[in-house]
Amino acid sequence: MAPSTMANWAPYVGISIFVRLFCALRSTWVMIVVDNPILWLCGWRGGNLLDDIEGPFYILGSPSVQVSEGKGVLASADFLNKFDPFLFVLEVKDTKGDPVPYAKLDCWHADTSGSYYFASYTLRGKVTADAQGHLEVLTVRPGDYASRTGHLHIVVTGTEGKHKPMTTQAYVCPGNDPERMSGDISNHYRPRPDNGMVSCRAMPSANGGKEYLKFPALSAQEADLAKSVGYWNGKLKDHGVEREVMAVARHTITLTAF
């Protein structure tokens, strides 16, 4: 499937009934076997502190949402107008401290109201980091649902033979306070995944000068993030989106090196 383009963000791609049924059966197996809490209790999972459960909502075959090198857009212009535009700025490194060039990320998440989509690949897609392992993903803020704080699911693949692939989650906690994850049912049998929490900064100018989810405002010292937000705000305007990025999240994903 051809990559997305700046002129065609996150196009609607339907999912067949067969794929949905197959993925439902696969997810049942993953939850019982691969993501069984016993594996964390026995120390067979969690050696990498960012190792996390896949969850029941993964759908195989998501399209590329790459729009340029190291940049992807998960949300359509309609969604970016409807919900809160949100920017993830990610770095992929390995346990030796080296960047992972051209790391591949398969991402999915709920919308800002906490709803997943299964009839189409809405808020689902694949993106590739640049040569320095840097990646920017424009989407809408992942919303809370049930006992879970908002989060971005990611399957990360590095260089074959050098890095162990990993499933992880990037958690968006109000006020950058990991305590929000304490009530998560998935953490009852494993340590709370504080290392998976992203560090968020709010953009008061996008919210009428008001506080947003108790995130600290982006400071003048964070010029790199300000540059990224400015770039994406320009693209939002070009696409007729009448909103700006509400918050930006910085996060480093560390893959286990062989």
Q: What is the number of structural domains in the chain? A: 1
Give the helix, strand, coil percentages of the chain, each rounded to 5. 25, 30, 45
pLDDT at 4 over 80: no
Per-residue pLDDT band at 121 (split at 50, 70, 90): very high
Domain assignment of residue 229, yes or no: yes
Range of the domain at 199: 17-257
Average pLDDT over the chain, rounded to an integer: 95
pLDDT tens digits along 190-242: 889 999 999 999 999 999 999 999 999 999 999 999 999 999 999 999 999 99
Q: What is the pLDDT of residue 159?
A: 96
For residue 174, give the CATH number of its domain: 2.60.130.10
CA distance 227 to 80: 20
Domain assignment of residue 242, yes or no: yes
Domain assignment of residue 49, yes or no: yes
pLDDT at 1 over 60: no
Locate 106 and state its tokens. Answer: 């398969």
- The total of other beta-carbon atoms located within 10 Å of residue 149's CB is 22
pLDDT tens digits along 23-43: 999 999 999 999 998 898 888
Domain assignment of residue 6, yes or no: no
By the 10 Å C-beta count (0-12 exposed, 13-18 middle, 19+ buried), 234 is classed as: exposed
DSSP 133: S
Q: What is the pTM of this model?
A: 0.95
